[in-house]
């Protein structure tokens, strides 16, 4: 077989893109004339593609369908005969069935549909189609209801078949917007949306065909997946009244019983499915049945064990248990981590409230946090279903006593706060250090020596000093000079929310806020310093742009596309416009590169003619043709098409 050269491969890729787009377009187009026009374009592109790769089965099947759509049945039949024995793909068999049906050879059409059903025995749309073909073969009138039923099953099959594809498309759209979401969550959402639609379709079939088993199966499945469990249960009962051995109905009944914790009911239902099935089939049902039996067995064993152990846990044993823990606490062998496990163990004994109070008391002594003890006890009385009135009173009394202890501790802390006043002298020394450090920062700021990278460390140091208002003032100025007033105001707001600010500190911070927001003119000092930083930044930007242009030229020399260059350099802040301008200068005067660019533009024009939008073509040609050029091309093509139509 002849190998395709590079140009032929490229041409085939373009034809495939055009064919894909046209196929998609003609499936959704409802106007007969427009659809015929699309099919004519498809025919032209498929024939050109097959001239390059004549043995491509997929393209030949596509052409066969185009001939069917254009009512060129003999041409379609010719392709069908050539491909018989080379493929058993269902799309091909479906095409053969259509050819024979349109030729009035219903027996042969039925034969091909049955072949597809061998591959897809549960395809209800095909079964409905087979029913119509058999009616045609026997000259039995076909009712509108039967046609509607076939269409309904076709739609159900289409919706179920496209769940995964729709989910992938939705995830791709979210990723483009920068939204992260798990595949499982998106698939679950798409499944619910899809089966909500299928529910409506199945209900419409049942209205006309109340005893239609397949539609009822689809309805049960849809209701269960979208979470309407009560309705699903009612529909299961209706389905099993029509067919008490229906496997799908029994399977979803078992699922509902599982969700409701009815293990015995689930066990009986699963046994019924296996009883009605052939030996060795329904492996999944057999596995679940074994699991259910094991769960029931373990529950029974656990219940018996609990009953046997109840006699070993008395009030006397509880006291011994707590006494041992108190000894462990005194000797330091009881840890904070082990307390949780000991609380769970204490539940085995009577008077659990007493044990809980004593254990939380030990933990609060370890951590020094009595409020956590209150939190644990309050949560217990809010959530414990078996709490007695006596136990409730015990826990409430302990909460009250603990609150009194906390108040006493707070008074003691206030006493120690008074002693801190005596440390004022040390604070004054700290204030001197703060002034010296601030002077150093201001001096460096005036010279333009402070960078944005070292700003966090400077702020960390300033935040350690006593005079917070002075530190906040300098921090605000740093942000105003290195960034802007908006950023300075954002940082200032953070400090204004500090709860223990003194009245003087709060007043000074409020004054700073007014300066930033009331439209006060920027001081000459700030302007001068910002000017120093601006010159440095402009110089750095010029240097970076020079480096970027050099790198772009090197990548162009390696044969990279605009998109590839942009993806590899976008972290450095380079724009598509810069890359496009550099490329334009780079290829100017180079005959080979200019020819190559012209060829890319020709391919882009072909894609636009094939129905692609400028944005889609922009992606396909990897940004090598500017979007503005593509939009102009599209505009010109629309003008020409309008002139032809006139």
CATH number at residue 202: 1.25.40.10
266 domain-assigned: no
Average pLDDT over residues 441-450: 82
- Residues 44, 152, single domain; the answer is yes
- Residues 523, 564, single domain; the answer is no
Whether the pLDDT of residue 529 is over 80: the answer is: no
- Residues 412, 474, single domain; the answer is no
User: Which range marks the domain in which residue 413 is found?
Assistant: 313-421
- Residues 399, 483, single domain; the answer is no
* 46-50, 166-170, 540-544, 628-632: least confident range: 540-544
pTM attached to this predicted model: 0.39
As given in the structure block, the two tokens for residue 332 are: 């330091």
Q: For the chain, what is the radius of gyration of the CA atoms?
A: 39
586 domain-assigned: yes
Choose one of 500, 534, 568: the last residue of a domain.
534
439 domain-assigned: yes
Domains: count for the chain: 5
Distance from C-alpha of 422 to C-alpha of 424, rounded to nearest angstrom:
5
- Residues 417, 427, single domain; the answer is no
As given in the structure block, the two tokens for residue 105 are: 């050879």
Q: pLDDT category, 196, cuts 50, 70, 90?
A: very high
- Residues 10, 110, single domain; the answer is yes
In tens, the pLDDT along 355-377 reads 888 888 888 888 888 888 888 88
230 domain-assigned: yes
Q: pLDDT category, 40, cuts 50, 70, 90?
A: very high
- Residues 480, 351, single domain; the answer is no
Whether the pLDDT of residue 2 is over 60: the answer is: no
396 domain-assigned: yes
- Residues 414, 427, single domain; the answer is no
- Residue in 230, 238, 152 with CA at minimum distance from that of residue 198: 152
**Contact status, residue 156 vs residue 218, Cβ threshold 8 Å:** yes
Whether the pLDDT of residue 143 is over 70: the answer is: no
pLDDT at 194 (0 to 100): 92
Choose one of 534, 561, 590: the last residue of a domain.
534
Distance from C-alpha of 191 to C-alpha of 198, rounded to nearest angstrom:
10
519 domain-assigned: yes
Whether the pLDDT of residue 522 is over 70: the answer is: no
- Residues 23, 91, single domain; the answer is yes
- Residues 325, 385, single domain; the answer is yes
How high is the mean pLDDT of the chain? 83
In tens, the pLDDT along 320-331 reads 888 888 888 888
- How crowded is the C-beta side of 346, counted as CA atoms within 13 Å? 23
In tens, the pLDDT along 86-105 reads 888 888 888 888 888 888 88
Q: pLDDT category, 280, cuts 50, 70, 90?
A: low
Q: Which residue has the higher pLDDT, 132 or 311?
A: 132
Average pLDDT over residues 443-455: 83
Distance from C-alpha of 444 to C-alpha of 440, rounded to nearest angstrom:
6
Whether the pLDDT of residue 63 is over 80: the answer is: yes
pLDDT at 490 (0 to 100): 80
**Contact status, residue 404 vs residue 398, Cβ threshold 8 Å:** no
- Residues 551, 524, single domain; the answer is no
- Residue in 130, 79, 125, 67 with CA at minimum distance from that of residue 101: 130
Helix (H) or strand (E) holding 408: helix 389-419
In tens, the pLDDT along 375-411 reads 888 888 888 877 788 888 888 888 888 888 888 878 8
- Residues 324, 386, single domain; the answer is yes
289 domain-assigned: no
In tens, the pLDDT along 283-322 reads 888 888 888 889 888 888 777 666 555 556 788 888 888 8
CB count within 10 Å of CB 221 equals 22
400 domain-assigned: yes
Distances (CA, A) of 12 to 45, 48, 49, 429, 625: 10, 9, 6, 81, 20
pLDDT at 306 (0 to 100): 62
Average pLDDT over residues 26-30: 76
In tens, the pLDDT along 538-577 reads 776 787 788 888 888 888 888 888 888 888 888 878 888 8
Choose one of 510, 534, 558: the last residue of a domain.
534
Q: Strand, coil or helix: what is 154? A: helix
In tens, the pLDDT along 599-633 reads 888 888 888 888 888 888 888 888 888 888 888 98
Distance from C-alpha of 396 to C-alpha of 383, rounded to nearest angstrom:
14
């Amino acid at each position: 077989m002849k190998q395709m050269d590079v140009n032929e491969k490229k041409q085939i890729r373009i034809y495939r893109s055009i064919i894909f787009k046209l196929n998609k377009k003609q499936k959704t187009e409802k106007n007969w004339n427009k659809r015929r026009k699309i099919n004519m374009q498809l025919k032209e592109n498929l024939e050109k593609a097959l001239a390059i790769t004549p043995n491509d089965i997929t393209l030949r099947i596509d052409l066969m369908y185009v001939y069917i759509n254009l009512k060129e049945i003999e041409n379609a039949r010719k392709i069908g005969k050539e491909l018989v024995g080379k493929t058993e793909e269902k799309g091909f068999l479906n095409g053969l069935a259509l050819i024979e049906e349109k030729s009035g050879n219903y027996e042969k059409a039925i034969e091909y549909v049955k072949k597809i059903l061998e591959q897809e025995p549960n395809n209800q749309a095909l079964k409905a189609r087979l029913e119509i073909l058999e009616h045609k073969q026997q000259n039995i009138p076909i009712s509108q209801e039967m046609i509607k039923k076939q269409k309904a099953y076709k739609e159900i099959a289409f919706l179920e078949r496209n769940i995964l594809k729709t989910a992938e498309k939705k995830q791709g759209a979210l990723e483009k917007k920068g939204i992260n979401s798990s595949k499982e969550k998106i698939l679950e959402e798409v499944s619910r949306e899809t089966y909500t639609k299928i529910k409506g379709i199945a209900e419409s079939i049942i209205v006309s065909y109340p005893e239609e088993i397949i539609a009822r199966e689809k309805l049960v499945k849809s209701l269960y997946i979208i979470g309407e469990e009560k309705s699903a249960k009612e529909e299961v009962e209706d389905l099993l009244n029509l067919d008490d051995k229906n496997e799908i109905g029994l399977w979803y009944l078992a699922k509902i019983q599982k969700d409701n914790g009815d293990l015995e009911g689930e066990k009986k239902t699963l046994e019924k499915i296996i009883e009605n099935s052939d030996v060795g089939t329904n492996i999944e049902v057999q596995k679940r049945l074994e699991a259910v039996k094991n769960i029931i067995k373990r529950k029974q064993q656990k219940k018996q064990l609990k009953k046997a152990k109840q006699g070993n846990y008395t009030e006397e044993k509880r006291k011994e248990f707590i006494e041992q823990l108190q000894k462990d606490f005194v000797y330091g062998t009881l840890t904070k981590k082990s307390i949780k496990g000991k609380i769970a163990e204490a539940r085995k004994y009577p008077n659990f409230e007493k044990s809980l109070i004593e254990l939380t008391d030990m933990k609060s002594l370890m951590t020094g946090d009595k409020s956590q003890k209150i939190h644990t006890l309050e949560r217990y009385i809010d959530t414990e279903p078996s709490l007695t009135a006596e136990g409730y009173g015990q826990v409430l009394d302990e909460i009250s006593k603990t609150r009194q202890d906390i108040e006493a501790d707070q008074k003691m802390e206030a006493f120690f706060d008074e002693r801190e006043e005596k440390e004022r002298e040390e604070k004054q020394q700290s204030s001197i250090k703060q002034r010296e450090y601030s002077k150093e920062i201001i001096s460096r700021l005036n010279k333009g020596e402070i960078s944005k990278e070292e700003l966090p460390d400077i702020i960390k140091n300033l935040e350690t000093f006593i005079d917070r208002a002075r530190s906040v003032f300098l921090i605000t100025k740093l942000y105003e000079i290195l960034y802007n007033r908006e950023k300075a105001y954002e940082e200032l707001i953070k400090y204004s929310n500090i709860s223990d600010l003194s009245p003087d500190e709060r007043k000074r911070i409020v004054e700073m806020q007014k300066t930033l927001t009331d439209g006060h003119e920027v001081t000459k000092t700030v302007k001068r310093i910002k000017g120093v930083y601006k010159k440095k930044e402009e110089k750095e930007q010029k240097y970076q742009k020079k480096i970027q242009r050099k790198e772009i030229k090197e990548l162009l020399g390696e044969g990279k596309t605009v998109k590839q260059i942009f993806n590899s350099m976008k972290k450095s802040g380079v724009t598509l416009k810069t890359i496009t301008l550099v490329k334009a200068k780079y290829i100017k005067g180079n005959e080979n590169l200019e020819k190559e660019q012209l060829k890319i533009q020709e391919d882009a024009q072909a894609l636009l003619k094939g129905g692609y939008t400028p944005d889609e073509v922009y992606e396909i040609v990897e940004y090598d043709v500017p979007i503005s050029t593509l939009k102009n091309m599209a505009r010109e093509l629309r003008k020409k098409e309008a002139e032809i139509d006139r």
